[in-house]
Amino acid sequence: TGDLGYMDEDGYLYLNGRKKNLIILSNGENVSPELIENKFDSDRLVQDIIAFGEGDSIEVEVYPNYEYAQANNIQDIQAAMNEIVAKHNEELPTYAKISNCTVRKQPFKKTSSKKIIRKIYFDNREEKSAEKENLLRPATELQQQIFEVVTTVLGEEAIGTDANLYKSGMDSLTSVMLIEELQTQLNVSVTLTELMDHNTILSLEELILEKQGEEKIDYSVRPAYPLTSIMMYFAYIIPGNTTGNLPFVYRLDNSVDLNRLQDAFHTLMDVHPILKAVIKPTEQKYYAVFRDDSRVIDIPVLQCTESEIENKLASLLTPFRCSYNNRLRTPSGWRSGNRLRP
């Protein structure tokens, strides 16, 4: 049948692997990958795992259960996985101990019976290895620094200096992460537009060299900032207009954790200082954004019954009210307005 196994002293037959999957190490040791992989069956953080030989050692690649990690607030998945590997290494013979664990972001290709298709995995691995040998390597110190930042953010080392980063797996989220790391590691400020226009390591090097000759922008915290274009529009062109601040109501499913939602809003306020800012006139009578990092934003969770909802909404959704005798201000001037409901 192609199965590997053994018979114990009582005559029971145990199957522990497949002959075609057998790992033959360079030191001559034969290891069944299933012997290793089955050790992780009870680990909730491990969604799928594959073991393979690399020289005279054993390595594993793991696709984690990201939902489990999020639900249990596991931030450093690699560190958590290393701990699991260390635990199982104590149960394995010396020649089968795991020397390295790689965490992957994409799931494995599987059969209809949910088994990893090993042939596809190893074919892709060989293809990537061949591509890696032909990659254009960093030729300067700055290219090497950019390469290290890029590969850390993308979690992928098979990237040539002439490769389009967006075709190599970079998306909107990793774009923001890369911009932040370039600022932190190389002390260079790159906008999203500039990154999209300079999407290779080589072109990023050119951009950074250009920026090194420019005057440095002062990012220190200031008490007041100028208004953005949209802020100026609402502050000067259509003062009193409420369309930029209309409230909305959403009916949430009962499964929503209101405490987590509340914490998420508070966290957002803390990491985005502009949300704590106040727009008001300066001493010179023009509007500015006054920043206040110490301001505490409290978003309450109010409890009310189904019968109280209508009255509660009426008190919340009142951006403005006009009577028959009131006049409504518009961009073109003043006009008489009909009764407006909230």
Quick: pLDDT tens for 123-158: 888 887 777 777 888 999 999 999 999 998 887 777
> Could you read off the pLDDT of 235-282 as tens digits, one per residue?
666 655 555 556 677 888 888 899 899 999 888 888 777 778 888 888
* pTM for the whole structure: 0.47
* Range from 11-15, 135-139, 256-260, 296-300 carrying the lowest mean pLDDT: 296-300
Distance CA 332, CA 340 (A): 19
Mean pLDDT over the full length of the chain? 83
In the predicted model, is pLDDT for residue 197 greater than 90?
yes
Structure tokens at 155: 């979690």
Helix, strand, coil in percent for the chain, rounding step 5: 40, 20, 40
Average pLDDT over residues 47-70: 92
Strongest mean pLDDT among 85-94, 297-306, 316-325, 330-339: 85-94
pLDDT at 283: 85
* 292 dihedral zone (left: phi>0; alpha: psi -120 to 50; beta): beta
Per the CB < 8 A criterion, the answer to whether 236 and 228 are in contact is: no
Average pLDDT over residues 85-105: 92
